[in-house]
Homo-oligomer: A and B are copies of this chain.
Amino acid sequence: MFLRDCWYVVAWSHEVPSQGLLARTVVGDALVLFRTQDGIVAALADRCCHRLAPLSRGRHEGDCLRCGYHGLLFDARGQCVEVPGMETVPPRLAVRSYPVVEHNRWVFVWMGDPARADRSLLPDNFSCDHPDWVYRPGYLHYEVPWQLIADNLLDFSHLSYVHEATLGGSRAIAQARPRIEPIERGLRIERAVHSVPAPPYYAALRTFDGAIDRWFNYDFLLPATLLMDSGGRVQGAAAGDPNHEVRLHSCQTLTPETESSTHYFFQQAHPRWLGNEKTTEGLYQGLVRAFEEDRAMIGAQYAAIGRGGDLSMMSLPMDAALLQFRRLVERELAREAAWLSGNGASAGLG
């Protein structure tokens, strides 16, 4: 059961080539992506309507895609425009196409009713394409349901334990209580810790002589996108003082692949003036190392859940945000179901 009336990130822009095809599955639907000669990204169902062969094993031809099994040719709207050996093509020969928007280097697909696709619902992932911010793009594939990863991102108390040697470095993070505020389609979460050592992760950016204050302020938005301002500052220094402060901006998003696997697109950007290519690479490597720590823990958690038995979870104060977000998702799922059934009912009257 997935939300469908929303934009999911299906790829980084550079993953969809100007020549060639990209196959990727989103909320259970296998998609094939390619660019028309104008560079516009098209997303079609990755299964030929003839004998069900995946179109991604075919060939990109101009604005079209040819099935590699029997040669049917489809345009960017999914309409079949050529069948070998047939004079005219039956109009019913078509595959589903999906609305696509390319926005700040993320390629989004709309998995619900195309008529309801709404660009105003795109997140403000500005630092993915901004002259003042620099990053290296990241991707991880998870063999767990997206919800467990969202839980992880909604409770940073795990930084003290899972990421002790990377992003964390202090038990104070787990002891702090974040401020949680409902916002349009999501939550705003703000966590501050005072007088802690700089985390090992900061070493790629700069060293601090003593304790610093740190903050993690982020929005977590439907379907599962994190947009975060985080940083650390020498105690007593003025906010914005570049000599005593580190400030980062991060965009991360979870796209369910199937019920039990998830795409994770992420970046953590640093200001362009702070460092060079080596800084960017160091930050990226540190982030990947930390996210592998998450992946190992969440994978183990999912395996433990898979053993069955009593699966009740005892909730604690640290779970406040993740419980609120789970309820938000439930409400949206109910709203989609109601809309679909209402729509079906009125269609039935026609």
B-binding residues in A (CB < 8 A) = 25, 28-30, 46-47, 49-54, 57, 66-71, 83-86, 90, 92-93, 151, 155, 157-158, 160-162, 171, 174-177, 296-297, 300-301, 303-305, 307, 309, 311, 313-319
Of the residues B25, B84, B162, B318, contact of A175 by C-beta under 8 Å: B84
Within 8 Å CB of A160, what residues of B?
71, 84
With A69-B162, A83-B316, A157-B71: A300-B53 Cβ-Cβ less than 8 Å: yes
Within 8 Å CB of A57, what residues of B?
296-297, 300
**A85 adjacent to B297 (CB under 8 Å):** no
CB distance from A197 to the nearest CB of B (A): 17
Q: Number of copies of this chain in the oligomer?
A: 3
Of the residues B90, B161, B314, contact of A67 by C-beta under 8 Å: B161
**A54 adjacent to B84 (CB under 8 Å):** no
Within 8 Å CB of A85, what residues of B?
157, 174-177, 317-318
A22 CA / B70 CA spacing, docked (Å):
38
Within 8 Å CB of A301, what residues of B?
51-54, 69
**A314 adjacent to B54 (CB under 8 Å):** no
**A303 adjacent to B157 (CB under 8 Å):** no
Instruction: Name which of A90, A177, A305, A307 has the most chain B CB atoms within 10 A of its CB.
Output: A307
With A71-B171, A85-B175, A174-B84: A52-B161 Cβ-Cβ less than 8 Å: no
**A71 adjacent to B314 (CB under 8 Å):** no
A42 CA / B69 CA spacing, docked (Å):
41
CB distance from A91 to the nearest CB of B (A): 11
CB distance from A224 to the nearest CB of B (A): 17
**A53 adjacent to B297 (CB under 8 Å):** yes
A90 CA / B70 CA spacing, docked (Å):
59
Of the residues B53, B300, B309, contact of A304 by C-beta under 8 Å: B53
